[in-house]
Every structure is written in structure tokens, then in C-alpha cells.
Amino acid sequence: MTERDRVRAGTSKGWIVAVAVIAAVVLCAAAWRGVSSRATAMAVLDRETRDLATPTVTVIHPKRGAPTEEIVLPGTLQAFTDAPIYARTSGYLKKRYVEMGDRVKSGQLLAEIDAPELEQQLQQARADLSTADANLRLAQVTSDRYQDLVRTESVSKQDADNATGALEVRGSAVQSARHNVRRLEQLQAFTRIYAPFSGVVTARNTDIGALIDPGASGGAARELFHIASVDRLRVFVNVPQVYARDARPGLEAYLRLAEFPGRSFMARLVRTAQTIDPGSRTLLAEFEAANPAGELLPGSYGEVHVKLPVPAATVVLPVNTLLFRAEGLRVATVRNGQQVVLAAITIGRDYGTEVEVVAGLDARDFVIVSPPDSLVDGQIVRTVQRAVNGTDGSAR
């Protein structure tokens, strides 16, 4: 074999080796690509499987409780002082000086009663007093004389004692007659009827010439006038038990009445019954409202708007965040961005669609809305935060 042939043979052999090496590299690359693609596909499938297995929940932040809360309660307006006026003596109504709706001052004369029989009884009592006084003076003179005669033994000691006893009896008779005169004088004073306090005459149930019977003889006494003091009014309100601890004297409120649209009248809590009515589970509270112009009428119905202080630590949640479990009331919160924690809470006031939470929750917590009953502590979830305007944020 010539040198040229040997070179050609070596060259052919090198090409075969090169082709084999290239083929092996191509086969290895294809095999690696297939394995890598399969691994990538398996990783994607695993991630998608885990994502599908992880529930997506909507979360919100609780609202902070307001420093004050306004409640509206029905109230009944009553006169600050309200009293029927009766007669204390019998007779006929001689004069009356007021009519229904008149304003009167304390001590103002309302009416006069004509009682001639009482006048005669008073004159007789005064005459009896004069007789008793005369008998007392005579007994005093007699007693003094007997005391002088006893010293000279002109009369017995028994006669002197009898004279002294008669003097004491006459003195008692004078006191009795004097008290009887005072009684009849007071009865005579009752023939003039005066207003016991300033106010408005809300009723007049008699007229001139009417027979006045105070009921002393067994008959039914009849109310002559009715007076109500309306410069200040009492407003009675039944406060629900849940708000009873906040109803303290000094609490301010305002009244609204249908006949005064757009107007408010200030009132202040002055006292409570200090006990819950077991029938209605309410606390009776009394407010006072100034009424200098007399615009508010006793007996009216009004709405009492009361601003109650609320503890600053409270938060408010919608009712669709609550979970009722055997161990008690819970809310599902999300900690560390993905882990579920079932938090025990204490409920305060119930507002219908929302509830007040007084313990167990913070305004910075993420709370799951409409949580599924299958949620458990430590479960991993994906969250979608609901914005304040109601739109949903991005998933995490």
C-alpha cells in the first residue's frame, strides 16, 4: 500500500470516528432534553395540583369601633310636677278665677267656696272658747281662795284639792276649745283654693254654684282642677339591658318629635331605676328636658337619641365571618400570609348585619369572609383581600 493510500485510509477512519462522536453527542442531548422536559412538566403538574388543592379565601380587616354610638329609643314626655286639686271643705263654689289652659303661679288664688255652715261652727267654737276661758278664770280664783283658807284651817284639805283639780279640768277644756277653733279656722282657710306650684291648668271640673264635697261624709271626692308644671319635662325611656351599663346620670341626649321636623331638644339623664325589669329586660331611665317656651306638651311621644360611649378596643365584623363551633364562637383569621388560625372572640352588641367584638380580635387581623365549615387550624390557604370599596385585590 502506497503512502497515499495509507493517508486516505486514515482520513476515512477519522471521519467515521468524528461522525460517531457527533451522533453520540446528539443522542445524549436529545435524551437530556427529554428528561428535562419531563421533569419540568412534572414540576408544573405538581405545582398546579398543589394550587388546586389549596383553597382560595377572601379576607378583610375588621372595622374599628366608633368612640360613641347613637341609639334611638321611644320616650314618653311627662310634666315635671302633676297634681289634681281637691277641696278640703264642703260648700258651694262661689267664684273661680282660672280656666283650662291658663298659666298660674305658685300661691295664686284659683277659686273660693261659700261655706256658711262652717262659719257658724267657727263662731260657736269661739263662743265655747270664751266660756271655757271664763270657767278657767273662776276656777283659778276659787283655787287660790281655798289655798288661803287651808292655811287657817277654815276648809278641809280635801276641798282645796277638789278646787285644784277643777282648775286643771278647766285648763284642759280651754286647750280643747282653742284647738277646735284652730281646726275650724284652718277649714275656713280651705274655702280659698290656691295653686300649690306654678304651672298650667290642664283641667277644670267644676263651675260656679256646684256643690263641693271633699269626701269627708263618705261620698266620692271630685277633682276641681288639674295643674301640671311644664317648664321642665320628664322623659321616661326603657333602655335595653345590653346598654344599661352605659346609662349613667349626666348622659346627654336629644329629643325629636314628629310635630317639629328638623328640630332637636336637648335632654339629660338624671336617674335610673337601678334594676332591670324582668318582663321587658330593660332599665327605666328618666331624662329631663327644659321647656321654657312650653312647646313640648306632656303626654307626647318622642324619639330619644342617646350617644353612648364605646370602648376604644372594640372592632366590628360582618355576621358572615362568624363560625359556630362546638367549642364556642370563632372567626377564621390568616396569619403569616397563608396559615389559618381559628380565634375565639367575645361578642358585644348585635347590630343586625354586623356584630361588635370586644375581645379576641385586632383591627390589623385578616379575617376570612364566609369561611367554609371544613376549615381547621393550621390549614394553608390562598387569600384575596377585599378592598374598602368592595373590589377584590390580588391573590396571594
User: What tens digit of pLDDT does each residue of 230-247 get?
Assistant: 999 999 999 998 888 888
Taking the CA of residue 382 as centre, how many other CA atoms within 13 Å lie in the half-sphere pointing to its CB? 11
CB 184 within 8 A of CB 127: no
Residue for grid cell 263662743: 127
Q: Which of 250, 258, 322, 240 is nearest to 287 (CA)?
A: 250
Contact at 8 Å (CB) between 249 and 285?
Answer: no
Confidence (pLDDT) at 357: 84
Provide the pLDDT confidence category of residue 390 given band limits of 50, 70 and 90: very low
Give the closest residue to 317 by CA, choosing from 355, 364, 371.
Answer: 355
Mean pLDDT of the chain: 82
Average pLDDT over residues 297-312: 83
Mean pLDDT score, 363-382: 83
Q: How confident is the model at residue 8 (pLDDT cuts 50, 70, 90)?
A: low
Pick the more confident residue, 374 or 6. 374
What is the rounded distance in angstroms from the CA atom of residue 168 to the CA atom of residue 133? Answer: 12
Q: Could you tell me the pLDDT band of residue 14, with boundaries at 50, 70 and 90?
A: low
* pLDDT on residue 233: 94
Q: What is the pTM of this model?
A: 0.59
Residue 295 has pLDDT above 80, yes or no: yes
Q: Report the range of poorest mean pLDDT among 21-35, 74-88, 208-222.
A: 21-35
Residue 389: per-residue pLDDT: 39
8 A C-beta contact, residue 346 and residue 356: no
CB 139 within 8 A of CB 170: yes
Say yes or no to pLDDT of 7 above 50. Answer: no
